Each structure stands twice: as structure tokens, then as C-alpha cells.
Amino acid sequence: MLKKRYFYDRLGSALTLFCASLVIVLTVSIIYFISSKGIATFISDGVSLREFLFSTQWWPDRPRAEGGPQLGALSMIIGSVLVSLFAVGISAPLGIVVAVFLVEIAPGWGQRVLQPAVELLAGIPSVVYGYIGLSLLVPFIRDNIGGGGFSLLAGFLVLSVMILPTIISVSADSIKALHIEWKHASLALGATRWQTIRMVLVPAARSGLITAVVLGLARAFGEALAVQMVIGNTRQIPTSILDPMMTLTSAITMDMGATIAGTPWNNALWSMGLILLLMSLFFIMLIRVVVRRGVAQ
């Protein structure tokens, strides 16, 4: 009897260990694959890292005799950064305020109505967001604000709606997790509800809120489809929010099927993928640091 139990115990632990190592192997091999493909641009195609990161000249199909291929991804890198930062700029304040409302102001109907609404927002597929943006937002901007409609503005508006659920739910969770005594103590000291929220709850939940914002930023940075449909995909650095532009993700999706594996053009797409991967690793590290600091306090 005891032996049997012992056997099951070992079996269970072996099984979980197997699953855990499967995930590790998967992650490591994906990172290895993308890195090896992405580095090929610099090693076998002779493109300098400097040119790739800081040049806007993108002529991947130009023959060697005419000075090509030139693979400068700066306009796309800037495009990705701009569209994500603007999106977070809108969603972070909005999302945190909604989270406070959800937890502190109207916990009753907030959780009955607002929570499902936010979850629904998270469940809408990105292609649908893109299609709505293309059909409603782009013509609206063209007719009422100016420019051609396909623009940085359309891109970050669509993105800001898409990352809102992430920011709201992570923020709400972190506010919910605070010790109820802090709130009680603050109120007992005579602080109003506004003072309690502003001076006690939000500062105490700071690391959770920052995590929420970084997660939103990471999602915005990696989003491809919806953004691609509304930004116009023009390889230039936008000088106004009404200019069309291009992101790393949209550059990859537009060209991946029609370029041949092993060519400098295709390798450059992998290098862009590598940049995306490094950025998300950076975001994850950032979150870990923030969370650790929060715990330390």
C-alpha cells in the first residue's frame, strides 16, 4: 500500500517535471531559432547593425551592383515605438481610473456590469478591431480631421482600445490585493475617499499598476494585424499623427510569404522578429524588477 502511494507520488512529480521541461525546451528552441535566423542578416549578408538600426533606406530588392540590398529598419522601429507609446499614453490613465472605479467606487454594479464588459473587450479578435478601424475610424479621420485617414492616429486609437482590458484587469487585481486595514486606517484618520485613493491606495498599488502598463505596452508593441490594417504601411518616419507609417510587425506580415527563405530580404524580416523578441524580453525583465521592488517595500 505504502509502495503504491510512493509510486504514484514519483509518477506525479515526474509528469509535472516533464511538462515543465517541455515548456522550457520550447521557449529555448524558439529563442534559439529566431536568434540564429535574425543574426544571419548581420553575419552572412554583411549588413551592419548600425545600418539596420539607424538607416531608413529600405531597398531589399535592389541588386548588389546598384548598392543594394539596403536594409535600414529605423522607420519601422520608430513606427512601432511611437504607436505603442501613444496607445499606452491614452490607455494607462483611462485604464487605471476605470480600475479604481471598479474596485473602490462601485464594487457592486461595477463588477456585475463593468467587469464582463471589459472581459468582452478582451475577447474581441484583433482582426475585428482592425476591420472596425478600417471601416469606421479611417474614413472618420479622413473626413473630419484631415489627411488620408490611414495614420498614426488611427493606429494608436485602435491599439489603445485593444490594450485597455489588460491594463484594467491587472490594475484592478493589484488594487484588490491591498490590505483592507490600510484603507480603514486612512478613513479612520479622517481622510476623504478621494484622499484615501490618491494618497494611500494608488501609491500602495504602484508596482501592480506599473506592471499593468508595461504589459499593455508589450501587447501594443507586438500587435500586428489590427495595426497593419489602419496605419497605411508607408515606410517613412511620421512627422504628424495624421501621417501614414509602418511598424515592425506589419512589415513582417506584409512580406513574409512572398520572400524566399535565406535571402537578405527574408533574413531582415527575421531580424525584425528578433528585435520584437528582445523588446518583449526587456518588458518582462522590467516587470520583474518592478514587482520585486514592490515586494521589497
Partner 1 sequence: MKSKLFLVLLLIGVLMGAVVGCGGQSDQKEEGHEQTQQEQTGGSKGSITAVGSSALQPLVEEAANQFMAKNPEAQIVVQGGGSGTGLSQVAQGASDIGNSDVFAEEKLTPEEAKGLVDHQVCVVGMAAVVHPDITVDNVTKQQLIDIFTGKITNWKEIGGPDVKVTLVNRPKSSGTRATFKAFALDGAEEASGIEQDSSGTVRKIINETPGAIGYLAFSYLDGSVKALKLDGVEPAAENIYTGDYPIWAYEHMYTRGEPTGLAKDFLDYMMSDEVQKTLVPELGYLPATEMKVKRDAEGNVSQK
Distance in Å, CB of 155 to partner 1, minimum = 13
Q: Is the Cβ of residue 186 or residue 271 nearer to partner 1 in the bound state?
A: 271
Contact 47, 62 (CB under 8 A): no
Question: Cell 549578408 sits at which residue?
Answer: 45
CA-to-CA distance for 203 and 216, rounded, in angstroms?
19
Quick one: how far is CA 90 from the chain centroid?
A: 14
Q: Is the Cβ of residue 104 or residue 243 nearer to partner 1 in the bound state?
A: 243
Counting Cβ atoms within 10 Å, is residue 247 exposed (0-12), middle (13-18) or buried (19+)? buried
Contact 211, 290 (CB under 8 A): yes
Distance in Å, CB of 44 to partner 1, minimum = 14
CA-to-CA distance for 271 and 276, rounded, in angstroms?
9
Please report, as ranges, the residues that interact with partner 1 according to CB under 8 A: 14, 17-18, 21-22, 25, 60-61, 134, 138-139, 142, 148-150, 228-229, 232-236, 244, 246, 253-262, 265-266
CA-to-CA distance for 229 and 130, rounded, in angstroms?
6
CA-to-CA distance for 113 and 120, rounded, in angstroms?
11
Q: Is the Cβ of residue 34 or residue 114 nearer to partner 1 in the bound state?
A: 34
Peptide bond into 69 cis (omega under 30): yes
Distance in Å, CB of 250 to partner 1, minimum = 9
Length of the chain: 297
Distance in Å, CB of 92 to partner 1, minimum = 30
Q: Is the Cβ of residue 106 or residue 261 nearer to partner 1 in the bound state?
A: 261
Distance in Å, CB of 87 to partner 1, minimum = 21
Question: Residue 112: what residue type?
Answer: R
Distance in Å, CB of 60 to partner 1, minimum = 7
Distance in Å, CB of 26 to partner 1, minimum = 10
CA-to-CA distance for 77 and 69, rounded, in angstroms?
19
114 Cβ contact partners less than 8 Å away, ≥ 6 residues apart: 98, 101, 102, 106
Distance in Å, CB of 107 to partner 1, minimum = 44
Q: How far is CA 229 from CA 91, 126, 130, 152, 222, in A?
A: 20, 10, 6, 12, 15
Q: Is the Cβ of residue 196 or residue 233 nearer to partner 1 in the bound state?
A: 233
